[in-house]
Amino acid sequence: MKLTINGEKKSIEQTKGLLKLDNLIALLGHNPSLIVVEFNGAILPPNQWSTQQVKDGDSLEIVTIVGGGS
């Protein structure tokens, strides 16, 4: 399956069944509690990740939350 992730075209091998967004996030190695996901132009809350099907041609922007400061 071909996806656009953070502006880059990527090929993701799908092993079986439907790929859900939460599985893709894990496959990409992201910590779910430290990211915000824009899926096809809309920010999706984490409670929707397990039901959102990822299909060929979808576009994601994954932004890591960084804390800090003084």
Q: At residue 6, does pLDDT exceed 70?
A: yes
Q: Is residue 14 part of a domain?
A: yes
Q: What is the pLDDT of residue 70?
A: 66
pLDDT, the chain, mean: 92
CATH of the domain at 40: 3.10.20.30
Lowest-pLDDT range of 3-7, 11-15, 53-57: 11-15
Q: Is residue 70 part of a domain?
A: no
Q: Is residue 39 part of a domain?
A: yes
Q: SS3 letters for the chain? A: CEEEECCEEEECCCCCCCEEHHHHHHHCCCCHHHEEEEECCEEECHHHCCCCEECCCCEEEEEECCCCCC
Q: Is residue 27 part of a domain?
A: yes
Q: What is the pLDDT of residue 15?
A: 66
Q: What is the pLDDT of residue 52?
A: 97
Q: What is the pLDDT of residue 69?
A: 66
Range of 20's domain?
2-64
